[in-house]
Every structure is written in C-alpha cells, then in structure tokens.
Structure 1
Amino acid sequence: MSADGRFSCSSCHDIRTNGIDSETKHAVTPRTLNTLTVLNAALSYRLTWEGQYRSLYEQAEASITDPANMHSSVEEAVRRLRSDIVLNALFRAAYGRQIDRANLLDALVTFEQSLLTPGSRFDRWLEGDASALSVVELEGYRTFKALGCSACHQGVNAGANFITRQGIFSPLVLSGPSRVRVPSLRNVEATPPYFHDGSAATLEDAVRRMATAQLDRTLTDEQVRSIVAYLKTLTGNYRGKPVARGTQ
C-alpha cells in the first residue's frame, strides 16, 4: 500500500515470527526509531514510541499517510485494492460492499486486535501452575519487582501503559525523543534489538543499561542472569506456536 508500491504492513511487521522486521530502523526512509512489534499492540494504551496515537484506527491511517512509512493516502490504498478482484470479493462478503475507507481501516484494526499472544509460561504461573517457572526464573521475577522495574513494566501487557522520561539518572541512548511510551515486555526475548534506537543487541545489555539509566543501580552478573531468565518466560503463543525470533 506504499506510494511506490514496494511496502505493505507486513514489510515491517512480520507476524510469521515476532511482529517486527529483520531491520533495526523503519524501512521506507532513514529514521532513528526501532520498529515496534505489532503483536499485542491492541493492549497498549497508546501507539508508537512517542505515543502519538490513541487508537489503532489513528495509527493505521497514520502509517499509510506518514512520509516516513508508506507515504500514500487511504484513498489511494482503496483505489489500488479495489483493482484486486479476489480481495474486493472478500470485502463484499465481510462488509456487504466493496472496499472503501471505513471498511479498509476497520479490517486493519480488527486484524490487529487478533494479534494477541497468550499462554506464556509466566501467564501459566499467574494462573496457578507452580511448575511453570524455575527457581532462577522466580528469583528473577522477585528481583525485577524489588529493583522497581515493575513500576513501569506492569499490567496485562507488562508495559505500554504510559509515557515516561528515558535516561533519568544517566543517558540511556544517544539520540531520539527524551520521553517515550514504555514498551511491552511480552515476547521481549524474540524482539531484539532493544530501545527506540535499537542500540542494545541483547537482553543482558538492555537490562544492565536500563538499571543504570532508569534506576541508578549497577547489577551483578547473577541479577542480570535471573532477570533475563524471567523475561524469557514472557514469550507467548500466536496461532498455537511460540513467538519466534525474527531473522536478523
């Protein structure tokens, strides 16, 4: 649906793996923002790193029109999609009419609302399965809470609930917005690199840097290992299969 005909939503959000692409940055024009996963986006209170959009409808339209993304318009996307006989027939079956602005955006949003990944081992533990987490993973969860990580990464999406300042005690990244929407930690093992500039290649690096910049804490190797072990329990399932790390 991009203006040059080269990009679709799935070009940056590959739901066959982790809901992001294999590149660190946005695909259409050079930017400093790391691609966020589309998985569980429906659970976020706002969308994008800076939280500009309050609804999936706003975000879907913005992705089509933003010069840094598809650089097109909803009207142009409708015109192109109407030329696809099979797709137009599917829209008629679902909506009772050919593709138009309203049902195109509704179809995108309805699909995004289905991209949930329940059934992580941590979910199972919360539901009462005491065997779902190991001793090390449980210790990591306790450390995660004791240090204060859960003050920002909480709720059903393990984050994505509000906007906060990055680099409270020391710089976290070298560029980008000073205030960002807290990302979800669901499937975090499968969605490297980390931070809005993609500068942390591993969870270990991300955990250490977050502790220093946001909490003014220097973690031991054991603390890092246990927290990372806990974070790996947040990997859920999509269409019956565990969310997998994309090709880097």
Structure 2
Amino acid sequence: MNEVLTCRFGVVFMLCLGLGMPLMAAPLDEALKPLPAVPMLDPAKVELGRQLFNEPRLSVNNTLSCASCHRLESGGADNKPFSIGFDGKPVDINTPSVFNASLNFKQFWNGRVDTLEAQIQQVVISPVEMGSDWKTVVQNLSSLPAYQAAFQRAYPDGVTAANVQNALATYERTLLTPNSRFDQYLLGNTDIFTIQEKYGYQRFKDYGCIACHQGINIGGNMFQKFGVMGDYFKARGKTVESDLGRYLLTQDEEDRHVFKVPSLRNVAATAPYFHDASAKTLEEAVDVMFKYQLGRNPSQEDKDLIIQFLKTLSGEWAGKPL
C-alpha cells in the first residue's frame, strides 16, 4: 500500500510500493502565485496571429510591425526609452512588455482599454504609432493570397478588422513566460533560491512592495498614483501630457499621475523603467519606488537583497530563459 508521510517542514513524500519515490514538494501558501501554463488555443488562429505580429503592412507605410517595438528576444519590449513610430519619431510613453500582457486587468499605462483586441485596434490607428486605418489594413491583407487562405482556415468570414485583432490577441495570449525561478520556488522547490534571494523576497513583502505588485502577474491588476509619498514629477521637472495618466481619460483630479501598476515579471530584462523611462537601471527604479511610493529609506543591503529577488522573476519563452 502507498503510505503518505508529511515531515515537519511540510514537504510531502510518497513511498510507492516501498520504492521511496518522492512527490514534488507541496506548493507554498503565498499571496503571489506561479504563472499558468501557456494556454492551448486554436492553432490556426495562433499561427495567423504570429504572422500578423511580424507584419509591417499593419502600419501606414509598411515600416512597422508589432514586433518592431515588442521584441520577444528582448523581454517583449525594445530596450529603448521611447519606441520609434511609423514616421521615425519617438512615441511619448515607454513601451511595456507584451509578455504576460494578457494577465493584466487593463491595457496601456493609463488603462484606457480592457482587452488585447481593443489595445491592438488603437495601436494600428494611432497617429504616433502605426498611423494606419482598419479599412486599409483589411484591403492590404485581403490582396495577398496567403493571408486570404490563412484567414479562411481560422475564420469563416475571412479577413475582417475584428478577425485581425482577434488573431493577434490570440497569439499574444500564448506569450506567457512560465518557469521562472520564483515560479519554481512557489511550487515548492525552495532550494532553488539562495539565502539572499529568500531574504530579498521577505524584504519585498516586509517593506510593502507586495501591496501594489500583487496577483499572478506581480502587478498589472490595479491603479496607483506615481508619487504617493512625494512629488515625483516636481522633482523630475518638466511634465508632459503623458505624465497625467488616467486624468487624460477621466478629467478627475484624483486620477492625475495615476497609472496601471506594471508587472514585475521579467523586470530584469525590460529596462528602462516607468512610463517616462526615467530609470535606466533596476537599482534606480528601486530607489525611486522606495522614495516616492513607500516613503522609506532602507539600507543598501536591503535594496540589494530585493534586487536579487527581482532577478528571480525572469521566466522562459520558447524554452529559453529571458
């Protein structure tokens, strides 16, 4: 008979037929949870979405694709302070990573849309990003036999704006980066962390970072004012329209400088940081968060420990670590 024994440290083992085969350690009971597995979605839609993600015909002058700014080999962003639009000019806000974006409760820094489909719809017609219109996009794609066939395989009504948006969003929903060292830790493999990384995670919780960077995406599920404990924008100087955050949508004074809290997953691979790309390094970003969001003055040792923990949040894409 199988006998299940639980040691005093909570690690479960099963002795299968007396052979002593260990089960996986039990998942930790933590507020943060590991990423789910990449979803199994319609292969025809996923592949079509992948092609469209790399398709420059989505832009008005055939120069810019989604992959131009969301480089999957570079953490899902492009390592630039501000991505370059179709006209060769920089956009006015830092490009967030496309990885795990499907897990965010809203899209864009100011959270102005709820879905990936709506985000795609706006990017294509944005006068500073792709600068096109959906009628032109549909005409361009419909003129190509390969796309005609691909859309017919995935959608009964063929090439439409809604189907382009859905195919892209379906592909983006597969862009999850599971199996980070932190995910493995949460699943019970606590030996995968160094003692410093364990202390860093504890400091992350103790100082209150987890109050905003929470949920399965370690962020991306709430709004917060940038500068809770100090006037970040006054200290930085020269505010611009994009600094207004949700105020641009609501005209509510309470929403001035309020943004979607970014996900911290893969944060070590997505510099520079913040909507204004003002922090060039993870160390600078941590300093800003302590000063303006937490109002705390931690020791250098504590900051270093937290940074070591943050580096464990990098997952895998296409079987390779980011």
TM-score over 0.5 (shorter chain)? yes
Equivalent residue runs for 1:40-119 within 5 Å: 40-119=100-179
Paired AA for residue 70 in structure 2: H
Per the TM alignment, residue 31 of structure 1 is displaced from its structure 2 partner at its CA by: 3.7
Mapped to 2, the partners of 1:65 and 1:7 lie a distance apart of 12
User: Are the equivalent residues in 1 in contact too, given 2:265–2:313 (CA < 8 A)?
Assistant: yes
Mapped to 1, the partners of 2:91 and 2:223 lie a distance apart of 20
Mapped to 1, the partners of 2:165 and 2:91 lie a distance apart of 25
1:242 aligns with 2:299: no
TM-score (norm 1): 0.94
Mapped to 1, the partners of 2:274 and 2:183 lie a distance apart of 24
- Residue 185 of structure 1 is matched in structure 2 by 264
- Measured against aligned partners, the alpha-carbon deviations of 1:128-151 in whole angstroms (never above 9, x if no partner) come to 001121100010111011110000
Per the TM alignment, residue 22 of structure 1 is displaced from its structure 2 partner at its CA by: 3.5
Per the TM alignment, residue 33 of structure 1 is displaced from its structure 2 partner at its CA by: 1.1
Mapped to 2, the partners of 1:60 and 1:222 lie a distance apart of 42
* Bigger relative contact order, structure 1 or 2 (CA pairs below 8 A, ≥6 apart): 1
User: Are the equivalent residues in 1 in contact too, given 2:105–2:220 (CA < 8 A)?
Assistant: yes
- Measured against aligned partners, the alpha-carbon deviations of 1:100-140 in whole angstroms (never above 9, x if no partner) come to 22211110110111110110111101100011211000101
- Residue 76 of structure 2 is matched in structure 1 by 19
Q: Bigger radius of gyration, 1 or 2?
A: 2
- Measured against aligned partners, the alpha-carbon deviations of 1:9-66 in whole angstroms (never above 9, x if no partner) come to 1111111331111421132144431110000000000011111111111111011111
User: Are the equivalent residues in 2 in contact too, given 1:208–1:219 (CA < 8 A)?
Assistant: no
SS in 2 for 1:164: strand
- Residue 218 of structure 1 is matched in structure 2 by 297
Instruction: State, as a whole percentage, how many aligned pairs show the same letter.
Output: 40
SS in 1 for 2:232: coil
1:231 aligns with 2:231: no
Count of residues paired in the alignment: 243
- Residue 166 of structure 1 is matched in structure 2 by 226
Mapped to 2, the partners of 1:21 and 1:79 lie a distance apart of 29
Paired AA for residue 217 in structure 2: N
TM-score (norm 2): 0.73
Structure 2: runs of 5+ lacking an equivalent = 1-57, 245-256
Range 137-146 or range 63-72, more displaced:
63-72
Per the TM alignment, residue 195 of structure 1 is displaced from its structure 2 partner at its CA by: 0.8
Question: RMSD over aligned Cα, in angstroms?
Answer: 1.3
Mapped to 2, the partners of 1:116 and 1:101 lie a distance apart of 25
User: Are the equivalent residues in 1 in contact too, given 2:82–2:93 (CA < 8 A)?
Assistant: yes
User: Are the equivalent residues in 2 in contact too, given 1:172–1:210 (CA < 8 A)?
Assistant: no
- Residue 204 of structure 1 is matched in structure 2 by 283
Structure 1: runs of 5+ lacking an equivalent = 244-248
SS in 2 for 1:37: coil
User: Are the equivalent residues in 2 in contact too, given 1:165–1:180 (CA < 8 A)?
Assistant: yes
